[in-house]
A and B are shown apart, each in its own frame.
Chain A
Amino acid sequence: MRGTDFFSIPGFSLPDFVPALASRLPQWPYAVALTAAMNAALRIGVVPKEDIEALEGKTFLIDILDAGARVCFTFGNGIFHPSFASPERADLVFRARLSAFLQLAARQEDPDTLFFKRELSIEGDTELGLIVKNTLDAIEWPDLTALAARPILKFHGFNLETAVDH
């Protein structure tokens, strides 16, 4: 919301040759990058402990259709691990185009909206999917965009409190 006041991610598709190209690349760098980011989020305590217990021992697969990227990871002993197991056996699979994942990450679109529009598919353990979705929704991300915008607004003589709260 506040974040999306500043920019908006359009729906787009990567060119057709991208998946063919990318799926031949090793998939694990994506998994390493994503799990590192998620572990960092856990460390700063944005996810309540009781919410992540349900993820213990589960395998997740994120399939970015138009990028040909498949990111597989597991959760165990309180942290996310990149996984090299056969993705066919994931407990939960999210499939969507890159733009849809970006819109979700930026909280620009609601997962149910993308699901109704058939832009996001969920396979496997539906309840686990719901836990993941609700847990992500409940996270209070530090308001980075507002922080970044602060000096600029100040510079222009805005009264920040009234600019942000109405």
Chain B
Amino acid sequence: MRRMLFKSLVYGPLTEAAPPRSEAAVAELAARVDQAARARLGRTLAIREVDAGSCNACELEIHALNNVLYDLERFGIRFVASPRHADVLLVTGPVTTNLRQALERTYQATPDPKWVVAVGDCARDGGVFAGSYACVGGVSAALPVDLHISGCPPTPLALLQGLLALLESVESPSGGKKVRD
């Protein structure tokens, strides 16, 4: 282990080893996310992820946001374990009827002000699962949604872009149109 730690000291972070093109895009987005987060949320944003019946691929890409290449936490955006600590609910899946109640309870447990981001094509309108007896058909059928991030699944870059869009649309952390009862 010592050798590996030593190596990372000498060679710098893995973040720099990524392919140039997408790395440039990450850096550009990173700068924008960083500024917006600082200005509007005092540099922190707590996200609670809720799988409302996804195929689990959206979760895989949300996970990727935390890997060393995207390293979401450097912007002050982090995933939290409880909705009571969250500013944002990041919801995936077509909202199955079996999960609807749990999703609504999670929303109720999230303190105001709060935002809901629907991630993936099936969270938008049911996607390929639209019309099923077992799906409500999109997050907005169950909760008020502030932002949709499309893709099946959205790439980590698209997710970063979406979070930026959310930060930019937020008026202020404690007031404005997005606050709900």
Do A and B belong to a common assembly?
Answer: no
Interface residues of B (CB under 8 A from A): none
